[in-house]
Amino acid sequence: MTGLTNGDPYVFTVTATSADGTSPPSAAYGPLNVGVAPVIVTGPANGTAGQPYSSGFTVTGAPPPALTQVSGNRPPGLTLYPDGTLKGTPAQAGSYEFTVQAANPVGTYDASVTVVIAPATLGAGPPPPGGRQLPATICTTPAGHQPACAVRTLTGTFPPLRTDAAATLLRGTVTYAAGRATAGYRTLTFTAQRPVPAGSYTLILRHGHHAIIVPVTIR
């Protein structure tokens, strides 16, 4: 079937044609939703208590998905809007975990995220995220060279997964490394095309129609 427009619903009928002629149209079927299922690509940044905050989720899909919070607690003082924007002034420092769902007529996609709000007395930057430490093997493969692998330490809040997940390390919108996380996060393995310096990153773990977005530090 061709000539359909993403995001538009369609109702259709069916006829059968043979040497004897064409049948009457069938009962109407539909509506058939034509589009692209949602995917939550990235999550919101950390912030500081008492400082104006505007960040959010990057979501793809057609028609444009609407985002809602389905569980957990977002930072007090921040409002989540249907377009994925998270905005306001954080009222209290802490580490806040919550789950959102993006939905359109084609499907749904969930993401669990941790947003760390630093105390106002610490100034501009949030503290490193709490949680546990995990070893991660990061193999850097510059163009035309052999891979160089090293075991690094990631610190963050890592909820368990039952099966393997695709893992991506981001800083801002730049992807530094991609790889796999095994069940229960016993191991993390990444391949990088560029050096991965120590510092703060966003770890995104994807399994099926669900993502876990975790702020981490690497050393």
How long a stretch of residues is the chain? 219
| Residue type for position 158 | F
Shared domain for 112 and 137, answered yes or no, is no
Q: What percent of the chain stands above pLDDT 90? A: 37
Shared domain for 158 and 186, answered yes or no, is yes
Q: What percent of the chain stands above pLDDT 70? A: 82
CATH number at residue 137: 2.60.40
Number of domains in the chain: 3
The neighbour count for residue 76, using CB atoms within 10 Å, is 14
Write out the two tokens for 28. 């109407």
| Nearest by Cα to 193 from 169, 215, 213 | 169
The neighbour count for residue 180, using CB atoms within 10 Å, is 14
Which domain does 69 fall in, by range?
37-122
Question: Which of 76, 97, 122 is the C-terminal boundary of a domain?
Answer: 122
Question: Which of 102, 122, 142 is the C-terminal boundary of a domain?
Answer: 122
Shared domain for 79 and 136, answered yes or no, is no
Q: Which residues of 107-129 are buried (b: 16+ CB within 10 A; e: fewer)?
A: bebbbbbbbbbbeeeeeeebebb
Question: Which of 94, 122, 150 is the C-terminal boundary of a domain?
Answer: 122
Q: Which residues of 190-216 are buried (b: 16+ CB within 10 A; e: fewer)?
A: bebeeebeeebbbbbbbeebbbbbbbb
Taking the mean position of all CA atoms in its chain, how far away is CA 123? 28
Q: Within a domain: residue 127? A: no
Shared domain for 200 and 160, answered yes or no, is yes
Sheet with 53-56, strands from edge to edge, namely: 53-56, 85-88, 78-80
- Is residue 120 classed as helix, strand or coil in its secondary structure? helix
Q: What is the pLDDT of residues 55-110, one digit of tens each?
A: 999 999 999 999 999 999 999 999 999 999 999 999 999 989 999 999 999 999 99
Compute the distance between CA of residue 177 and CA of residue 170 in angstroms, rounded to an integer. 7
119: pLDDT confidence band, cut at 50, 70 and 90? confident
Shared domain for 77 and 136, answered yes or no, is no
Q: Within a domain: residue 147? A: yes
- Is residue 106 classed as helix, strand or coil in its secondary structure? coil
Write out the two tokens for 31. 């509506």
pLDDT given for residue 125 in this prediction: 46
